[in-house]
């Protein structure tokens, strides 16, 4: 019987998709040929269904350290004060919070060109004003 190569905390983070992308991939890869790991994950999920959470899971679930979406928006627009901007950058790049990274990508897309209509508008602003419109 083989040992489980990840800590319980690590698996909890995996379930919360709170690991950096390469570690997520690593757990997924290991899952494929490691039935014991799959069992362990199932056990954790079962415990969660019963309302048993580790402190780490609760902490991540409520995302106590995550910046607000408004802060991410301000970060994109470079409107944050320096310490807050540093914190957001740390959170995104060092902690590698997938939740906030996804949130930021979403915001970037909103600023970018998710729809043809916005694409046209963006082109218009870029050609007329040389930059993107503020706000939405």
Catalog residues that contact Zn ion under the rule CB under 5 A: 66, 97, 99-100
Q: Which is nearer to Zn ion, 24 or 66 (CB)?
A: 66
Q: Which CB atom, from 56 or from 125, has the smaller least distance to Zn ion?
A: 56
Q: How far is the CB of 61 from Zn ion (least distance, A)?
A: 12
**Distance between CA atoms of residues 82 and 12, nearest Å:** 33
Q: By C-beta, is 96 or 113 nearer to Zn ion?
A: 96
Position of minimal CB gap to Zn ion: 97
Written as six digits, the tokens of 25 are 């991939």
Shortest reach from residue 46's CB to Zn ion, in Å: 27
Nearest distance, CB of residue 35 and Zn ion, angstroms = 32
The span from the CA of 100 to the CA of 105, in Å, is 8
SS3 105: helix
- Determine the Cα–Cα distance for residues 101 and 127; give it in Å rounded to an integer: 30
How many Cβ atoms sit within 10 Å of the Cβ of residue 37? 20
């Amino acid at each position: 019987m083989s040992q489980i190569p990840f800590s319980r905390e690590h698996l909890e983070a995996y379930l919360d998709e709170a690991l950096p992308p390469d570690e997520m991939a690593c757990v997924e890869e290991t899952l494929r040929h490691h039935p014991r790991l799959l069992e362990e994950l199932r056990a954790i999920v079962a415990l969660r269904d019963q309302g048993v959470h580790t402190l780490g899971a609760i902490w991540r679930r409520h995302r106590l350290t995550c910046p607000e979406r408004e802060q991410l928006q301000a970060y994109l627009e470079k409107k944050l004060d320096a310490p807050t901007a540093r914190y957001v950058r740390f959170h995104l790049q060092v902690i590698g919070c997938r939740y906030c990274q996804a949130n930021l990508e979403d915001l970037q897309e909103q600023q970018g060109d998710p729809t043809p209509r916005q694409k046209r508008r963006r082109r218009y602003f870029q050609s007329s004003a040389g930059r993107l419109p503020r706000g939405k």
